[in-house]
Every structure is written in C-alpha cells, then in structure tokens.
Chains A and B, each alone.
Chain A
Amino acid sequence: QTNTYSSKLIGADDFPVAYATINELGTQNYTTSDENGVFKLNTDNRSFTLHISSIGYVSQDIEVINGHIPEFITIQIATEQLDEIVVTALGIEREKQSLGSSVTKVDAEALTAVSFTNVVNSLAGQVAGVQVTNGSSGVGSSSRIIIRGENSLSGSNQPLFVVDGVPISNEQITSNLVNDGTLQEVDYGNGGSEISADDIASISILKGAGSAALYGARAANGVVVITTKRGRRKQGLGVSINSTLTIENLLTLPDYQNLYGGGSNGEYAFEDGIGSGINDGGISSYGPRLDQGQLIAQFDSPSTDINGNPVRAGDVIARTFPNGSFTEITPTPWESRPNNVRNFFKTGVTTQNNIAISSSGENGSSRLSYSNLRSEGILPNTDLKRDGFAVSIDQVLSDKLKARAFINYINTRSKNRPNLGYGYENVLYGFNWTGRQTNIESLRNYWQAGQEGLQHYDFNYLWLTNPYLTLFENTNSFTKNRILGNASATYNFSDKINLSVRTGLDTYDDARAFRRAVSTNSNPFGTYREDNVRFRELNTDILISYKDIINEDWDYTLSAGANRFDQRIKYQFSEASQLALPGIYTLANSRTPLKGDSQLFEKRIHSIYGTGDISYQNSVYLNLTYRNDWSSTLPQSNNSFGYYSAGLSYVASNMFELPNPISFLNVRLSAASVGNDTDPYQNAQNFLFNQNYGPNFRVTNETVLKNTNLRPERLNALEAGLDIRFFNSKVQFDVSGYQNTSVDQIISRPISNSSGFANFNVNGGKVRTRGFEALLSAEVIQNTNFNWQTSMNFSTYKSVVTELPEGVDQFVTGMANVFGGSGGANTVFYIAKENGQVGDMYGSGFIEIDGQTLYGSNGLPLQDGTLRLLGNYNPDYTMGFNNKFKYKGVELKILVDWRKGGTIVSRTKALGSTSGILKETLVGREEGIIGDGLVDVGTTDNPEYVANTTVVPASQFYNNFFDRGNEASALYSASYVKLRQVALYYIFPDNLTKLLGFQHIKFGLVGSNLLLFTENPHFDPELNALQETNIIQGVEDMSYPSTRSFGFSLKTEF
C-alpha cells in the first residue's frame, strides 16, 4: 500500500526551506519541497529514513517509524556547521575554518528570541570573552561591551561596530552637564543600540586582533560585525511581521528598614520642612519608631491656610502668617510604608514591532522594513520611542556588475530621560534621604497650594526636590535623527579578478533640551538648556581582488585596497541659567546672559591595505594582511603606522581520517600587530574660554598637557585555538588562548596638579593581557520529536602592567568620584603599578593596627587618608550556559550567566547607611554600637592598644563608619548569577497557519533578567555608572534598580 507522507521543512532561521531534496534513504525515491517548504513523499514503506538536503542547510536524516512523520522538520542552517561562513574584515566572507583567530557568530534567532531593545544586550552571556554591562536608566540606556578585557589603560576599550563592512558609531556622546554645576548626568544610549535586531541577519564577533587588523586603528579592541538582512534568495514576495510586548518591573531595590521613620535622636515633627519643626530640616531616618500608634505632624498631614481653608502641612507658604508663624497641623499616624519607594515605580511597557517585505526577482532582491519601539519606563514620565526604516537592495546590473545598498533611517526620541549620578536629580538619591515613613504617593500633587508653577511641595525644602516634580517638570528630552547606510558595487572583470567600491555613511543630529522648574533645589530660578550634537562619519573603500589556483591542491586570493575615513562631530549648547519668567522654556527667557559653547572635532585617516590567502587541500590555510594608516590626529612626522597579521589554520580532519569519535579537528594560530591613533587636537597647547567676568573676557590653560611627540600606540596579539568535534560534530569543544601586549599606549595620564596640569598625554606603559576562552556545545538529544542543544562558554583573563614609563613609579589611569564635598574629594583611583593588575582600585579607609580598626576615645573609627588597594573591578571569570529544547512545535531557550569576582565600591551602601534607610542600620538602634577594634590608651610615644568598649549611638556610628570618605567600608563583590533569557515558543501547526493565510507563525513567552543571585541586597552589580561623560568601572553611583522584563513575542510570515 502506497502512502503519502507530508511534512514541512523549516530552517532554524524560521524561513521555510524551499526546493530541498528529500530522499528515502537507500532508494531512488526522491521528492522536493515546494516554496513553502512542504513536501509529499509516496512510499510503500511504513518505517524508513528520510535524507533531507538543501543548499545552505545541513543534511539531515529523519527516521519515520510506523508512519509517524513529524508535522515540522527543522533544518539547521549550514553556516552553523562545518563550512560556517563568517564575515570578516571589510565584509569579506570567509569559511570559519580558514581563520587563524577566533570569530564567533551569533545568528538572528539567538538575537531575537528574546527581543532586547538594545541589541548589545542580547550578546550578554552568549559569547565567550564578551562582557556586556547595562546602563541603569532603563530602556535606552547605554550598554558597554568589552571583548577580551581591557587592552588600554585609558579610553573606552569598546570594539568597533561595523554594518555590512562599513564602520558606524557606537559612541555615546553625552552632554557635558556636570561642569555646569547644577544638571546631573543623562544617558542617551550607545549608538549601536539603535539598529533593530529584526534587521540583523547575524552578528560576528571578531575577537582577536588577528581577524580585525584590516579594519584599522579602531578595531584594536575587537569588532562587532553586523550583517543586515537582505532580500530572499527565493523568488517572489515575502512578508514577515514580528511583534513583542514586554513589561518591565523591578528586579532589585535597596533593602530598606521599616522600623524607624525620619528624624534624628528618635524625634520628628513637621512644621515647614526647613527646620522649624523637630528635625524637619534633616533628611535621615533615625527618627521615632514606626507603628507605635503615635500621631506626628507630617508634610501631608492636614492643616489650614491662614484663612482657615484646608491645605496640606507642606503647603508652607499658605500656612505662614505675616509674622512668620504657622497654622496648626493635625498630626497623623506615624506608620511604616514598606513599599513607598517600590510603588513609586511603574510597570514599564515596551512594544517592538517589525514588518519586513522582501522580494526577489530575476536580477535582484530587495527588502523593506519598518521597526518601531515604544517604551514607557519604570520611572514615571520617562520613555523612549524609536522608528526605523531600512531598505536593502541587491541588484545584478549586468553579467559583471552587481550593486547593493542598505539604508537605515532611525528616529529616536524621548520626552524625558532620567538623570543619573550623585544628587537629588537622581530620584533614587532622593529616596535615600527620604524618611522611611514618607508617603511618597502624596507628593504627586507637586505644587504648593496657591503656588502652582512657582513653588514645589515637599517634605523637606533644604536639600531635596519633590521626585514627581523632578520627573514631570525637570525633563531631559531629545530627538535624534540618524541615517546610516552603505552602498557598494562590484565589477567582475573575469572569474578571477574583481573590483569593488563601497561607501558608508553614518550621520545624525541629536537635539536635546533640559528644563528645570523654578523652586528646584539647585536651580531656584529654573533653567533651560539646549544641546545639539551633529555627527558625521564617512568611509570609502576601494578593493581589488584576484583569485586563482596554482594546481588542484593550491588556491590563493590576493586583494588590495584603500580607505578614507572622515569624522566630524559638532557639539554645541546654549543655556539660560536662570529663567526670567517661570514655566516658559526658551532661550529668550533668560534673566542672565546666555551661556554657551560650540565645538568642532574633525579627524581623517587614509589607509591602504592588502591581504593574501593561500590554501592547500582545504586543510591548510595561511592568511597574511597588511594595512597602513595615516591619521590626522598624530604629529605629521609620526602619523603613519602599519598593521600586520598572519593567521594559520590547519583542518586536520580534512586531510586525514581521524579516529572515531573525532569528526573534526582544527588548530589555529595567529599573530598580529595593530596600531592606534588618538583624538583630534592633541598636538598643541590651547587656551580655553572661561565665561566673562562682567564685560571682561577670560581664558585659562587646558588642564591637559599636550604632547607633540606622540607616537601611534600598538597592540601585539598572539592567539592559538583548537576546535575539535566529536560524534558527527554533535559535540564541539573550542578553546582559545591569547596574549595581547599593549605598548606605547597613548594615555592622558593624571599627573600631580602641582606640575601645573592635571593630565599629560603620553605614550607609555606596557600592559599584557592573557586570557583563555572555552566553548563546549553539544546536541545532547536529537531525534524526530525532541531536540536538546546545550552550550557552555567560559572566559577568564588577567591584565598585568608589565612596564611603566621611564621614571614613573606608579601610574594613575583614571579616577571616579565617590564624594565631591567641599572639604574632601573622596575618590577611587585606578592605579597601575608595576606588576599590578589593570582595574586595581585604590581608596582610603580607617587606621588599622595589626589588621584591626582603630577607634578614637569617642568610640568612632579613625579615618586614614592613606590610599590602599580596595580590589579589582575585573571578574575572575565569566560563564554562560545556554540551552535550547525543542519538542515538536515547542521551543524553549534558557540562558544563564555567571560572573565570579570583581569588586564594587558602592555609594548606595555608604549613603544609605549614613541616612539610616538600609535594613542593616537597624542593628544597635536601641542599645548602641561598640565598634569592633582597638583604642589607643597610651601616649603618643608609647601607644597602648586595648579593645574598644565605647558604646556609640547607631546613627553616630553609621555616620562615621560609612562616611563617604571611607571607600573601604562600602565594598561589595560583583559576583552574580543571572537568569538572563528565557524564551518559550510555539510554532503553529501547518494547517492552522495555512488556514490563517500565513506561511509561518511562531508565538512565544519571553523574559530577560528574570532572576538575580548576588550577595549584595541593594542593587544589581552588573549595572555600570556614568560620571561626567564617561562610563566608569567598579563604582556604583546611586544606580537605578535594574528591571526584569517579560512578555509575548509573535513572529509571523506570509
């Protein structure tokens, strides 16, 4: 009896696999799938094996037993397997096995299973050697990506981002707000985040300098190569629609105490919020015990205005009699509000949609896509909106001429991005100083009675600003229009020789506006400011390639090209520091002369390069590259620098039959030396403009001492790797070891201010990074209905300073402020000492005698300004554990990552202990605290140390122990384990899909950052901090809580 068996072939990329060949194994019974991937096979057998093969896909055998054929058959894409093609430098596609250095490819499926709003975040935990840290201001924050640790002692150490072979900007050009004195930092996101993951076909991470050398200077820290989706290879029209809806809620929040309210010494009563009541000018939480049935006057307790009309106690102006006295307040219950901060946050909602139309004809294909992102942040009145249009066209113009283009227009905007950092503009800083009894919700109506638009309403008018006013009135908005694109044409003179020309543009205009309402704490008159960033980068390449064979064993390719890079950044701002009229935000409304600046930065690099590949029997590959750059930023005499790389790959399994179970064995070696330049205008000393004094113009010296003798810096990299696979490549083990030696680094080294300058641009130092990465992946189970793929990646590295510049005993590479008070400037210093590690942090702490803290006669610890090693911010190692399960039409993906080691200096810990809001400050509240340590009862000459026995009130103790000057008392380990991604998808059965008029429907539940395990109860150790214009390491600076995100995802095609 002949039966007809039918199934549908779906590629791992979710596209149907059309025109595949299906063979009943052992017979001449063949069939092919149609354009929807559906095939029918007629056979007499009830149990047989199907061999499915299709170009671009891995051949696969499917066993059919007793006539049970699966509804869907998923076919792996070939590029994931032996002849994996990766995009290397300049967009050149090469077989992975031919490369001498490590490249990891992340395909579209892995990028979009859980739709991250910042595509960089989707790489976290997925790739060995890649470290991603998030910004803390929610959707739209900058994420920092570091590949193989930090090679450079200064600078961002971020990799180059490349789209279709052309570099784009991943920089965050922040506004220079801190120097302004009153506005705090705002994170506008990293440039790379703006590309929709739905428009990305794959991302290759070029980890080693060996594979990146051709990209030039900016590739020294690795390259993130983004390949955009193109039109389909198949004929006809295809439409896909992907939608994701996720909600975000708090993953972390400081662990607050709920036993004592605001005040000091156990006392509090509100009168006017500036000190007329009992401790109502103070902002710490050492006040009366909560929930004892007490009634206490509070800012939201009922009162009357001077005419007897009801108002809130905090409506102080209405309550003030002409002689300065106040109306009565009716006290209200002094109750704990454990969720007052939690409830301030909203549930964030983010939707992402993408519709793509792809078509293909005889002479080419095109793809048109529209993406949008709408996100409401967890902080009230914060958002991010993004719309992107992407068009790609591939056209065969003649037999010999092919052209392709990609253009992406992206509009990103927000009505308000939250402020970060130290100060009340960061509402989390404000909550740190908000009495734990405070009903934050009652601050929502944020103007005082009769003072709308003039005076905000608050529980304290000395130090803080109502958080709702901060978020609803004091906004930081922006609109960014960006166009990035590239176009290229290739002319094939013959089979052997071709010429291609490519040009890429990345340009944007980012207009930002900052409003501050009158009565804001540090801007009592209000402020309005506009910033504008105009960025343009143009890259043009010409490349000629020649490809030939010597004989049937040997073939080779030679290419040569040239590149021109132009970058132009214009930054300007104007500010009305004090408004003339409240509530009107325009530069004309200024009661003081406008403040402003405009700056232009231009840079150009000319390059030539060449590359040669030779291979023997598809098993030995040698690749040599050379590039030379001339950079405008270096002194004319020193502005030319070369790069070279050599890679050797040996695929033993292609040459010999290897003993079972080894199915593939590849050894790779590479060596590279790459150069780097610096920023524009570093060769001559300039004077800076200061604002006028009255009509008198002022200038001052730069704080950076320039150096006219800078040389290009250089990174020498060595790498060796092994890729071995077993059991028909079902188990893969890939390891790499590398050493990066960075010499002649250009760093702006902090020097003693007594020299007249604060920093000196200098070549110097030698940093050696040695690291190790491993990837173990396996298809644990692979049968008709159930499939389990697992992979585990591991990476570790250590960067050691092996040499300091002549005559320098230690080398300060940077600093982060932990407290910038007037008396002290408590700072974390990153100091490189010979044989010290990059990332070593130094700060001050307490005097120690034999490892024990020394206390004064008052029972308080004695501070010691001597710098000591606090720890290192780098992890000992990181691991990612990725699992994919598939059962019939159900897919489950789980990604867990683990970071071990590293130290964080926490401002939340220091401030929250000082203010008494953190849970651990409950210890000793009633009975006082005896600090654990010694006290000196001897004389200056003859000290005698005995155990400290002095009891100190808890508030005093915490105030001193966690004083911001003692960085050493606020340290946490940065270790964590995170459940990073979970995605559960259901693929709709074919008949239902057809019925609905689709080719393919996939619906899923997705989540990210779902669980966090860490020793630190107050914040997510993974978040980075932004200080001034830099992302800083190892310091937590009143970060916002991180969020957990989960929701639905729908992917369709018709």
Chain B
Amino acid sequence: TEDFDKLNENPNAPQNVDPQFLLTNIISVAADRNAYEQGFRLSNYLAQFAASVEFERIDRYEMGSNSSYWNTIFRLLSDIRSMQTLETSNEAYVAVGDIMASYLYSQLTDLWGDVPYSEAVKALDGQFTAKYDTQEAIYTDPENGILTVLESAATRLENTASSIQGDVMFDNDLNKWVRFANSLRLRYLLRISNRLTDFSEIQALADDGKLIASNADNAVVPYLGSAPNQWPMSTASLGLYQEHRMTKTVDSVLSLWNDPRVTVLYKPTQTSLANNTPIYKGLLNGQTRETISAEGIDLNDVSLFGSIFRDVPDGVNAQFMQYAEVQFALAEAVEKNYIAGDAATYYQNGIAASFEYYDVALPDDYFTREAIALNGADNLNKILSQKWLSLIGVGHEAWFNIRRTGVPRLKAGPDNLNEGKYPVRYLYPESEQATNKVNYTEAVDRIGGDNINSKAWWEKE
C-alpha cells in the first residue's frame, strides 16, 4: 500500500496556485454578483428602478434570505484568505485582499445587519461557528473594523514595492486601488454619519485628493462579448427581462428633470413605438398581476430597461463604485456641514460624471433647470436624488442611501406583503439556523428579531 498516497492525490485540481488566479476570481465574481443578481435583479426593485409584473415578489417586499449572495461572499472571503496566505503572496496582494474583504463585509452588514466578522472564515483554524459582530464594531472597531482596515490597506499600498497580477479591474495599478480604498472609506463614513460626531476623516479625504478622480478610476469590471463573462441578462429568458419594468418613481423623476439619460436606461413603450411617437412610461411598484389587470394597465404601454441591459452582452459594466458617487458623497457632506467646500461643484461633477458614464450628452441648460439647480431649501433632496439615479447599476447602494436619508421618499406598492413598511434587511439564511444556531439566536435577539424591519445600527434614529 505504499503507492496509496500517490493514488489518492487529486489529479484534477491543484493544491498550490499563484495568487493572481485567485485575485481574478475574487474581483470578477464579486463584481458580477454585485451587478447582476444583487444590483439588477433584486435591489433595483427596492430602489424602485424596476417594477415587477408578476413573479418577482421582492417588489412586494417578500424579501427572503438572499442566501446565495451570503454564501458567495463568504466563499470569496475564503479565496481572499487563501490569496493572502499563499507562499507566493506579497504585501500588495494582502492589501488588495483587505480592500475587497472590507467591501464584502460591508455588503454583509448593510444587507443583513449584525453578521459574522471577527470570527468568520476561520474553518481552517477549527472555528466553525462564528459569532455575529455588531454592525458598529464591524465598521468602527479601532483594531480590525472596516474603516481601519481600509485606511491601513491604502497606506500599505502607497508604500509597497510589491506588485500584483490578475487584476481585471484596475489592470494591476495599485494607485487606483488606493483611490478605491479611500473612496470606499468615504462611502462608509457617510453611511454611518448619523452616528458620527467627528467628521474630520471625511474632510481629510476630501482634501487629500486620493479618491476616485474621474470615470477612468471607476471601480468597474467590464462584461465581455463572449461567454462566460457576458452580462447574464443578455441571455436570460425573455420573461425574466420583462419582469423588470420602468417604475412610476423613476419616470416621474426623470420627467421632472427632463433627463436624456432615460434614452439609455429605458426603452420607449411598445405602443408609442408603434405610433411613431416614442415615450417612456413607468409602472407602479408592488402590484400583483391581478391589480395590474384590474387597473386596465396595458403592459405595452410600460417601458422596459434599455438596450444596454438586454440586447448586447457587454453593454454594461459590473460596478463597485463610480466617480459620480464620490462627488455626490462630498456634496452631501458639504450640504450637511460635515465638511467645508462647494456643494454645487461636487454635485455638478457628479451629474456630469453620470452622464459621461452612460455616454449621454449633458444638455447645456441642465444645471440651470429649476429641478436641478441647487438653490436653497431642497438642495439635499436634489443631491440625494441625483445620487440615487446614478446608482441604477447597483440598486442596493441606492437602497442603503434611501434607508439612511429617506431620499427619494418611496411608497410601498399597493400589494406589498409588509404591512406598508419599507423593508430594511434580508432575513438571515435559513442554513444559519441549522448550522450556527447559538450565534444566530444571539444576533437575532440583539437586532430585534430576524425580520425585514429590524433596522441596522447606522440607520436607527
């Protein structure tokens, strides 16, 4: 039996790999899941960029547990851990891994609340049942909180001599990773801003300049023309595509702004095309097919998502963060007096960046329009509404902002299944009840019940 060891060596898969292959996987899989399943298929309903006509019950606030994303995130975190600990890893991979991990953990806590963090991804150390950390600790723990980790990762990258490969987002440009890390830090500082009293870190970020500085710095991963890296909606069943309709909410906002981005984001209604007078029209969120039918709504008279979301495999990017969001964040921070600066400049930069991102010409008079120009009382609403629209590719970021700021003010649809309340989280995956029951129960008691209305730390009054 001396040869048994050799016989039992897996010939189908390696035990050792170069970290770059893990890095490509981490970035591309995270980007795709973020953009398609989360951003487009689920959260666009919550942000009211999309309305369902029959089957997507999340539009009626039956949230479910979104467990496949939970599982994917932890699997990617496991890949990050491997990438960071391989013998051939280096300081740059470690820092980039920390940035991606921070991003993924923030997704977890913003989607579910308290989640496993400090004890997570430790099966290799014999830790199978991780406790759930509080959202406050996940973001702000001075030792290992997301904000600290991002800051030190950026610092390390600025000073390292190491390099990375396999980076399909920034083409191995560590400088862009620094900007991404800092921009994420800005995003999260703003997210927890209701809980902050000291805004100097935001000011420092605004002053320092090492943020995403143009669309060229965007944290986006392109979809490709050929399988398996195509935008999944381009090959999905027609029914799935048609389940995503333009909403009354987005329709009213874009009409108010007379915004030409509508031509890229949505398609004119079928009826209007047949009549040679293309118009865009939205559908009220949260209606059952019966209600739609009873209301006499002709679905040919409702817009679908634009060609870039369906008719070509590489019409959209999988995005983590755009330049526009950074500028809107700074505009909000100024407007709220967290920092000093000119809100209007940031605001207009953000809008211009969003137009540029969708390759739509910015109308000359856009900034002077009544509904657009910052002219006093309604400024914050305008900034946050523009920011909301710019997040149409990542609906959950829009959802987090709505939960934090209440802008835009959304109404639950008539057939919602949540007693008219706007949901603020997913249920924990059922598998946690089965496999991590003690810690699950402790967390559930702490957050006020495993239901979709238990508010997160940063959004509580």
> Residues of A at under 8 Å CB distance from B?
263-265, 267, 274-276, 278-279, 281-282, 284, 286, 323-325, 461-463, 521-525, 577-578, 591-593, 595, 598-600, 602-604, 606, 630-633, 636, 639, 680-681, 683-694, 696-703, 705, 750-758, 760, 809-810, 812, 815, 820-827, 829, 831, 842, 844, 856-858, 860, 863, 865-867, 953, 955-956, 959-960, 963, 965
Residues of B with C-beta under 8 A to A823: 42, 56-58, 62-66, 426
* A865/B65 in contact, CB under 8 A: yes
The answer to whether B123 and A694 touch across the interface, beta carbons within 8 angstroms, is: no
Q: Give the residues from 88 to 141 in chain B that come closer than 8 angstroms, CB to CB, to chain A.
A: 115-116, 120-124, 127-130
Contacts between the two chains (Cβ within 8 Å), count: 298
Whether A963 contacts B65 by the Cβ 8 Å rule is no
Minimal beta-carbon separation of A317 from chain B (angstroms): 14
Asked if B24 and A697 sit within 8 Å, CB to CB, the answer is yes
**CB < 8 Å: which of A600, A692, A866, A956 contacts B433?**
A866
8 Å CB contact of A265 from B10, B66, B293 = B293
Question: Would A525 and B235 count as touching, CB distance under 8 A?
Answer: yes
The verdict on B436 contacting chain A, using a C-beta distance below 8 Å, is: yes
- Do A809 and B64 touch across chains, with their CB atoms under 8 A apart? no
> Contacts A699-B21, A751-B128, A823-B58: A867 and B237 contacting too (C-beta < 8 A)?
no
On whether A632 and B274 interact (CB within 8 A), knowing A757-B123, A823-B64, the answer reads no
18 A-B pairs besides A690-B29, A696-B166, A701-B82 with CB distance below 8 A are A275-B242, A281-B239, A463-B239, A603-B8, A604-B7, A632-B7, A693-B28, A696-B28, A701-B79, A702-B13, A750-B434, A754-B74, A754-B115, A812-B435, A822-B42, A822-B68, A824-B427, A953-B290
Name the distance in Å between B131's Cβ and chain A's nearest Cβ: 10
B-chain residues with CB within 8 Å of residue A687 when the two chains form the complex? 13-15, 17, 21-22, 82
Taking a contact as CB atoms closer than 8 A, the residue among B1, B166, B226, B300 that contacts A630 in the complex is B1
Contact A696 B168, beta carbon cutoff 8 Å: yes
In the complex, the answer to whether A829 meets B417 with C-beta atoms within 8 Å is no
Task: Assess whether B156 is interfacial by the CB under 8 Å rule.
Answer: no
Residue from B17, B168, B300 within 8 A of A276 (CB atoms): B300
**Interfacial residues, chain B to chain A (CB-CB below 8 A):** 1, 4-5, 7-15, 17, 21-22, 24-25, 28-29, 37, 41-42, 53-54, 56-58, 62-68, 70-71, 74-75, 77-79, 81-82, 115-116, 120-124, 127-130, 166, 168, 224, 226-229, 235-239, 242, 270, 273-276, 288-290, 293-294, 299-300, 415, 417, 419, 426-438, 450
> A265 CA to B293 CA in the complex, in Å?
7
CA distance A769 to B380 in the complex (A): 67
- Pick from A275, A694, A754, A963: contact of B121, CB below 8 A: A754
B25 and A699 form a contact (CB under 8 A): yes
- Give 6 closest A-B pairs by Cβ, nearest first: A824-B64, A462-B239, A756-B78, A823-B64, A592-B227, A755-B123
Could you list 15 A-B pairs, sorted by A, with CB under 8 Å?
A281-B239, A462-B239, A521-B239, A525-B235, A592-B226, A604-B7, A681-B9, A690-B25, A693-B224, A824-B62, A827-B430, A829-B431, A865-B450, A956-B288, A965-B64
A763 to B8, CA, bound (A): 19
In the complex, residue of chain B having the shortest beta-carbon distance to the beta carbon of A827 = B430
Contact B78 A701 (CB under 8 A): yes
Q: Which of A281, A591, A600, A754 contacts B436 (CB 8 A)?
A: A754
In the complex, the answer to whether B274 meets A323 with C-beta atoms within 8 Å is: yes
Complex CA–CA separation, A919 to B437 (angstroms)? 40
Instruction: Please give, as numbers and ranges, the residues of chain B lying within 8 Å of A604 by CB-CB distance.
Output: 4, 7
**A275-B15 Cα distance, complex, nearest whole Å:** 52
Name B293's closest neighbour in chain A (CB-CB).
A265
Residue of B1, B8, B124 with highest tally of chain A CB at under 10 A: B8
Complex contact B430–A696 (CB within 8 A):
no
Contacts of B64 in A (CB 8 A): 821, 823-826, 965
Contact between chains at A681 and B121 (CB < 8 Å): no
Judging by beta carbons under 8 Å apart, are A606 and B436 in contact? Answer: no
Residues from chain A with Cβ under 8 Å of B228 in the complex: 577, 592, 595, 691
Instruction: Report the bound CA distance from A824 to B56 in whole Å.
Output: 11
Check if A600 sits within 8 Å of B450, measured CB to CB.
no
CB distance from B184 to the nearest CB of A (A): 22
Contact B430 A683 (CB under 8 A): no
Closest chain A residue, CB of each to CB of B245: A275
Are A856's CB and B419's CB within 8 A? yes
Q: Nearest CB to that of A831 among chain B residues? A: B434
Smallest beta-carbon distance A599→chain B, Å: 5
- In the complex, which residue of chain A has the Cβ closest to the Cβ of B4? A632
Bound: A700/B74 CA distance, A: 12
User: B1–A639 contact, CB under 8 A?
Assistant: yes
CB pair B8 A681 closer than 8 Å = yes
Bound-state CA distance A692–B226 (Å) is: 11
Which B residues are CB-close (under 8 A) to A694? 168, 224, 229
On whether the beta carbons of B21 and A680 are closer than 8 Å, the reply is no
A865, B14: Cα distance in complex, Å? 39
Tell me how far the C-beta of A190 lies from the nearest C-beta in chain B, rounded to whole angstroms: 25
State A604–B4 Cα separation when bound (angstroms). Answer: 8
Give the residues in chain A near B129, CB-CB below 8 Å: 751-752, 755
In whole angstroms, how far apart are the Cα atoms of A324 and B275 in the complex?
9
A685/B15 contact (C-beta < 8 A), A694-B168, A760-B128, A812-B435 known: yes
Q: How far is the CA of A867 from the CA of B427 in the complex (A)?
A: 12
| Complex interface: chain B residues within 8 A of A702 (CB) | 13
A863 to B68, CA, bound (A): 20
Knowing A684-B15, A821-B64, the reply to whether A960 touches B433 (Cβ < 8 A) is no
Q: How far is the CA of A578 from the CA of B226 in the complex (A)?
A: 10
Q: Once bound together, how far apart are the Cα atoms of A265 and B295, in whole Å?
A: 10
Known contacts being A810-B434, A824-B64, is A636 close to B300, with CB within 8 Å?
no
Query: What chain A residues lie within 8 Å of B124 (beta carbons)?
Result: 705, 756
- Given A324-B270, A600-B12, verify A698-B65 contact (CB < 8 Å): no
Collect the chain B residues with CB atoms within 8 Å of residue A809's CB: 437-438
Q: Say whether B168 contacts A680, CB under 8 Å.
A: no
Partner of A282, one of B22, B123, B289: B289
Q: Is A755 in contact with B127, judged by CB distance below 8 angstroms?
A: yes
B62 contacts A700, CB within 8 Å?
Answer: no
Docked Cα-Cα span, A282 to B293, in Å, equals: 11
CA of A953 to CA of B289 in the docked complex: distance in angstroms? 12
The complex places the Cα of A26 from the Cα of B170 at a distance, in Å, of 105
Would you call B417 and A860 a contact (CB within 8 A)?
A: yes
Which B residues are in CB contact (< 8 Å) with A758? 71, 75
Q: Specify the chain A residue showing the minimal Cβ separation from B221.
A: A693
B78 A829 Cβ-Cβ under 8 A: no
Q: Which of A324, A599, A697, A822 contacts B274 (CB 8 A)?
A: A324
Nearest chain B CB to A1051 CB, angstrom units:
48
Is A264 a contact of B239 with CB atoms below 8 Å?
Answer: no
Contacts of B236 in A (CB 8 A): 522
Contacts A286-B290, A639-B1, A863-B62; A842 near B77 (Cβ below 8 A): no
Contact across chains for A867 and B434 when beta carbons are under 8 A apart:
yes
| Chain A nearest CB, measured from B356 CB (Å) | 24
Chain A residues whose CB sits within 8 angstroms of the CB of B54 once the complex forms: 281-282
Q: How far is the CB of B222 from chain A (nearest CB, A)?
A: 9
Among B24, B71, B81, B435, find the residue whose CB has the most chain A CB atoms closer than 10 A: B435
Asked whether, in the complex, the Cβ of A686 is within 8 Å of the Cβ of B13, the reply is yes
Residues in B whose Cβ lies below 8 Å from that of A598: 12
Chain A residues whose C-beta falls within 8 Å of the C-beta of B22 in the assembled complex: 687, 699-700
CB B276 to nearest CB in A, in angstroms, measures: 7
Q: Which residue of A lies closest to B22 (CB)?
A: A699
Q: How far is the CA of A826 from the CA of B21 in the complex (A)?
A: 33
For the complex, what is the distance from the CA of A956 to the CA of B121, rounded to whole Å? 42
Taking the nearest CB of chain A, how far is it from the CB of B294, in angstroms? 5
Q: Which chain A positions have C-beta within 8 A of B9?
A: 681, 684
Partner of B74, one of A263, A595, A753, A842: A753
Note all chain A residues with C-beta closer than 8 A to B81: 756
User: Across the interface, which residues of A come within 8 angstroms of B12, CB to CB?
Assistant: 598-600, 681, 686
Contact B62 A963 (CB under 8 A): yes
**Minimum distance in angstroms from B399 CB to a CB of chain A:** 13
Shortest Cβ distance from A601 into B: residue: B12
**Complex partner residue of B120 from A636, A689, A754, CB under 8 angstroms:** A754
